[in-house]
């Protein structure tokens, strides 16, 4: 029996402020449950693609008061070392997940105790509003307690810097370094003169700005909407109504916040079956479009009714093309559009044709919003349903993106067209861009070890062909590529046919592969071209599943 993990647990208990968590760990020590202790201590939470994220449980591998307290002490030390100026204050927000209110309170108390002014969001609200408040108030940073679209058992900690976007290296490692050595934290409560509430007037500024951009006098467009038991419901419906979209039917059983997310193992609009209830509501309401936000409303999912009455769920790339087509039509000199290495290559072709600057970034909105500081980012997206349609929020925003999408649907309907017609037009002009992904989940305590082992195996022995298509080039992203910072991942180019990107997820314990198959521009029959591309896509996907098997010896 190893004594090291028991010593780690004892040291953690000595500083853990939560009596229930201390009791849990003490019981594990008393039982001699080494396996469970390893699960809680061997893989501490680290800042990934979107900050800290993990299951709510005691120990450094979980989200808990001690983890949050240490992370916040790390933020305080980072602000002091970087010279950002903590006197400008930190915006603190939360969603409605398990533990969110408790962790939120912990952040507020630690910041106030350290002499840092706090701008506290007045209630559980969508993540984009915290990002908006940061810029609007000119604060030094913002902290949002959320796990976005993760499973019900998870929570998280998202950190924004003074530019309004999520922090990147080396700032994340600085926060982690200080958090790791954090000691006792002086605490203060909301009676502190450094505490202030974010006022409703500031939230109204967001509403007025977005409504001003996307409103129509009145639209007959019928919309079915779900916030997936998250915090977006009332705010989003109010935006729809103010913007002239009054024909909105909500998924009643999913409208109010519920951290259990009943009926949804993964409250992510990307997951199969998650939009079933919304589509059923749409059928009953005779809606033309389904709009869904994830639980913290920073992502947007959508489905559209086809001419034959069937419903088609749009891929994130397809929504990106639609919203990108509007942004590019309105672009001005020095504007920029951007997407990531795992997203479709179509946006780059659209931007080139429009004469608008374009950038490809690493995965995650923290990179998209920093693509080119010399230009104004008018549109950015990632295939995982994240969209930025307005520069006032330096992050993905499912609220404003929803307004932009229904506005486009309304404008097209005036000409007897639909969003699907626009997609046909785009792929006829630029070629079919079929896409899919594989997501293979791993479990602790060996999760990270397994991911690294699989990546090592395919790095050392990449495939020569996939789905009958020759692999023309192998790019190791750990070495950096096209001016991008090094990151764990591989790109297998398939000549003119497309590409595959393989990488570990930055937000969940998963290995992901992103596939794109590209066809030639054809104006005669885009649907036939899609069938050809999808056939190749399926063949590639089948081989990848076998190639990326998570069965690792030992």
Q: State the DSSP code for 336.
A: E
Please tell me the total number of residues recorded for the chain in this structure. Answer: 554
Phi then psi for 244, rounded to 5 degrees? Answer: 95, 10
CA of 334: how far to CAs of 163, 164, 315, 325, 369, in Å? 19, 20, 29, 17, 15
Cβ count near 293 (within 10 Å): 29
Its sign, for the CA torsion 12, 95, 391, 379, is positive
Residues 176-188 as b/e (b if ≥16 CB within 10 A, e otherwise) read bebbeebeebeeb
Asked whether 53 and 507 are in contact (CB, 8 A), the reply is yes
Q: Is 48 exposed, middle or buried (0-12, 13-18, 19+ CB in 10 A)?
A: middle
Provide the 10 A C-beta neighbour count for residue 238: 12
CB 314 within 8 A of CB 288: no
Euclidean distance between CA atoms 360 and 340, whole angstroms? 5
* Listed residue (87, 88, 45) closest to 70, CA to CA: 45
> How far is residue 472's CA from residue 302's CA, in Å, rounded to a whole number?
35
| DSSP letters spanning 447-471 | HHHHHHHHHHHHHHS--SEETTEE-
In angstroms, rounded to a whole number, what is the distance separating the alpha carbons of residues 507 and 155? 11
Contacts of 443 (CB under 8 A, 6+ apart): 509
Which of 329, 383, 380, 382 has its CA nearest to residue 356? 329
Q: Is 343 a catalytic residue?
A: no
Per DSSP, 343 falls in state S
List, in sequence order, the alpha helices (H) in 50-180: 65-82, 100-113, 127-137, 171-180
- Catalytic entry in 100, 148, 165, 343: 148
Sign of CA dihedral 444, 446, 448, 452: negative
**Sign of the torsion angle spanned by Cα atoms 502, 517, 409, 333:** positive
How far is the C-alpha of 234 from the C-alpha of 98, rounded, in Å? 20
- Residue 141: CA atoms inside 13 Å, Cβ hemisphere, count? 31
Positions annotated as catalytic residues are: 148
């Amino acid at each position: 029996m190893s004594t090291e993990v028991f010593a780690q647990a004892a040291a953690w208990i000595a500083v853990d402020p939560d009596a229930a968590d201390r009791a849990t760990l003490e019981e594990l020590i008393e039982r001699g449950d080494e396996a469970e202790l390893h699960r809680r201590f061997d893989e501490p939470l680290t800042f990934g693609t979107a900050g800290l994220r993990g299951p709510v449980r005691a120990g450094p591998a979980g989200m808990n008061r001690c983890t949050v307290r240490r992370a916040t002490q790390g933020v305080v030390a980072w602000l002091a070392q970087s010279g950002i100026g903590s006197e400008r204050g930190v915006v603190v927000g939360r969603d409605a997940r398990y533990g969110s209110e408790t962790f939120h309170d912990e952040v507020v108390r630690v910041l106030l105790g350290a002499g840092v002014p706090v701008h506290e969001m007045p209630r559980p609200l969508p993540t984009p509003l915290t990002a908006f408040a940061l810029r609007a108030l000119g604060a030094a940073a913002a902290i949002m307690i959320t796990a976005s679209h993760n499973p019900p058992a998870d929570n998280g900690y998202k950190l924004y810097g003074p530019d309004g976007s999520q922090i990147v290296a080396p700032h994340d490692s600085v926060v982690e370094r200080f958090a790791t050595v954090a000691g006792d934290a002086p605490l203060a409560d909301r009676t502190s003169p450094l505490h202030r509430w974010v006022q409703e007037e500031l939230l109204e500024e967001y509403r007025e700005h977005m409504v001003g951009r996307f409103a129509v006098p009145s639209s007959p467009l019928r919309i079915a909407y779900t916030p997936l038991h998250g915090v977006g419901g009332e705010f989003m419906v109010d935006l729809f109504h103010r913007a002239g979209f009054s024909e909105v039917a909500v998924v009643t059983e999913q409208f109010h916040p519920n951290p259990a997310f009943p009926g949804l193992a993964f409250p992510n609009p990307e997951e199969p079956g998650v939009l079933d209830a919304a589509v059923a509501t749409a059928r009953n309401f005779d809606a033309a479009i389904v709009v869904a936000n994830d639980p913290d409303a920073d992502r947007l999912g959508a489905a559209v009714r086809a001419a034959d009455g069937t419903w088609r769920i749009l891929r994130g790339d397809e929504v990106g093309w639609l919203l990108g087509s509007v942004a590019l039509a309105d672009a001005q000199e020095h504007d920029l559009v951007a997407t990531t290495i795992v997203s479709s290559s179509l946006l780059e072709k659209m931007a080139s044709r429009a004469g608008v600057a374009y950038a490809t970034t690493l995965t995650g909105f923290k990179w998209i919003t920093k693509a080119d500081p010399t230009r104004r980012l008018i549109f950015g997206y990632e295939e995982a349903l994240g969209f930025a349609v307005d520069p006032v929020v330096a992050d993905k925003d499912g609220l404003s993106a929803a307004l932009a999408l229904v506005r486009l649907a309304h404008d097209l309907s005036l000409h007897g067209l639909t969003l699907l017609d626009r997609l046909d037009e785009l792929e006829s002009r630029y070629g079919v861009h079929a896409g899919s992904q594989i997501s293979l989940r791993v479990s602790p305590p060996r999760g990270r070890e397994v991911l690294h082992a699989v990546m090592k195996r395919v790095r050392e022995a990449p495939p020569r062909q996939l789905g009958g298509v020759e692999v023309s080039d192998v790019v190791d992203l750990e070495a950096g590529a096209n001016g991008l910072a090094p990151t764990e991942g591989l790109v297998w180019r398939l000549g003119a046919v497309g590409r595959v990107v393989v990488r570990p997820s930055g937000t969940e314990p998963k290995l992901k592969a992103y596939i794109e198959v590209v066809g030639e521009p054809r104006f005669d029959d885009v649907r036939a071209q899609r069938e050809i591309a999808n056939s190749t896509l399926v063949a590639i996907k089948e081989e990848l599943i076998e190639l990326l098997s998570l069965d690792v010896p030992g």
